[in-house]
Amino acid sequence: MTNSKSMASQAPASRPEFKIVCINCDAIGIVFDCPEGAPASTPIKRRLCGAPRGTLGDLRHLSRIDRADLFDF
């Protein structure tokens, strides 16, 4: 029988939901047309095709992470 507490400690770190590369057009440009104090739930979209990429909160989280393995290129 396995210990659920030890399994939880071995689980991989959660990845941010922000998509670095657009799922529609494989580009990386974004539109950020928000006031400085915009809420974390503000959607961030792809510059040309307008596809949703994540939220401002997700992007802020990515800016604070220094692990290179979080990015899927």
| Contact predicate 29/46, CB 8 Å | yes
pLDDT confidence of 43, banded at 50, 70, 90? Answer: very high
pLDDT confidence of 65, banded at 50, 70, 90? Answer: confident
Residue 7, pLDDT above cutoff 70: no
Q: pTM for this structure? A: 0.64
- Going from N- to C-terminal start, the domains of the chain cover 16-68
In SS3 terms, 4-66 reads as HHHHHHHCCCCCCCCCCCCCCCCCCCEECCCCCCCCCCCEEEECCCCCEEEEHHHHHHHHHCC
pLDDT in tens, 14-23: 555 888 888 8
